[in-house]
A and B are shown apart, each in its own frame.
Chain A
Amino acid sequence: MRSISPLIIMFCIHIVAKADNSTTNAFKLIDSTDINDKKKINKIKDDIIIIDKTNKRYQKMAKKILGHSSEGGIIIFYYDKKIAKKIVFNVCGEMGRCIDKYYLNDNQTLMAIKSEDIDYDRPFYIKGFEIKLKELRTYYFIDEIPVYIVDKNSPNFTKDTDQLIKYLEEHIYPLHEIIEMFNNPEAEILPNEEIPAELLQND
Chain B
Amino acid sequence: MCIEEKKPAVNIQEETEYLDKFCAAEEKIKKELQELGEKWSDGKGMVVMNIQRSNQNEKLLADLNDIQKKKQQIGERLSGMEDKNEKNIGIKKSDKFEVNDKIANTWDKVTNERILTLDPRVQGPATEFINRVEKELGIQLRITTAYRSFEEQDKLYWQDKTNPPTGPWATDAKGGESYHNYGLGMDIVIMKNGECIWDIVGENIVKISKELGFEWGGNWKRKKDYPHFEMSFGTSTKKLYKKYLENFKK
Q: Which residues of A pack against B, CB within 8 Å?
A: 64, 66-74, 89-98, 100, 117, 120-126, 129, 170-173, 186, 193-194, 196-198
Contacts A70-B178, A125-B156, A193-B161; A94 near B227 (Cβ below 8 A): yes
Q: Is the CB of A70 within 8 A of B230?
A: yes
Q: Using a Cβ–Cβ cut-off of 8 Å, how many residues does chain B contribute to the interface with A?
A: 35
Q: Is the CB of B171 within 8 A of A95?
A: no
Q: Which residues of B pack against A, CB within 8 Å?
A: 144-145, 148, 156, 160-161, 168-174, 177-180, 185, 187, 196, 198, 217, 220-228, 230, 236-238
A98 to B225, CA, bound (A): 12
Among B161, B217, B223, B236, the residue within 8 A (CB) of A67 is B236
Q: Is the CB of A122 within 8 A of B198?
A: yes
- List 17 A-B residue pairs with CB atoms under 8 Å apart, sorted by A's residue number: A67-B237, A70-B217, A71-B178, A72-B174, A91-B172, A92-B171, A93-B217, A93-B220, A117-B223, A122-B196, A171-B221, A171-B222, A196-B160, A196-B161, A196-B169, A196-B172, A197-B160
Chain A residues in 8 Å Cβ range of B198: 95, 121-122
A95 to B226, CA, bound (A): 8
Q: Is the CB of A70 within 8 A of B179?
A: yes
Q: Is the CB of A100 within 8 A of B222?
A: yes
Chain B residues in 8 Å Cβ range of A97: 169-170, 223
Q: Is the CB of B161 within 8 A of A194?
A: yes
Q: Which of A71, A124, A193 has the most CB of B within 10 A?
A: A71
Q: Is the CB of B172 within 8 A of A73?
A: yes
* Closest B residue, CB atoms, query A64: B172
A117 to B156, CA, bound (A): 20
Q: Which 3 pairs of residues, A with B, have the shortest CB-CB distance? A: A72-B172, A72-B173, A124-B170
* Closest B residue, CB atoms, query A67: B236
Given A74-B172, A92-B173, A94-B227, 14 further pairs, Cβ under 8 A: A69-B222, A70-B173, A70-B217, A70-B228, A71-B171, A71-B178, A72-B171, A93-B217, A93-B225, A94-B228, A100-B222, A123-B227, A172-B222, A193-B161
Q: Is the CB of B222 within 8 A of A66?
A: no
Among B160, B222, B228, the residue within 8 A (CB) of A98 is B222
Q: Is the CB of B177 within 8 A of A72?
A: yes
Q: Is the CB of A95 within 8 A of B169?
A: no
* Closest A residue, CB atoms, query B174: A72
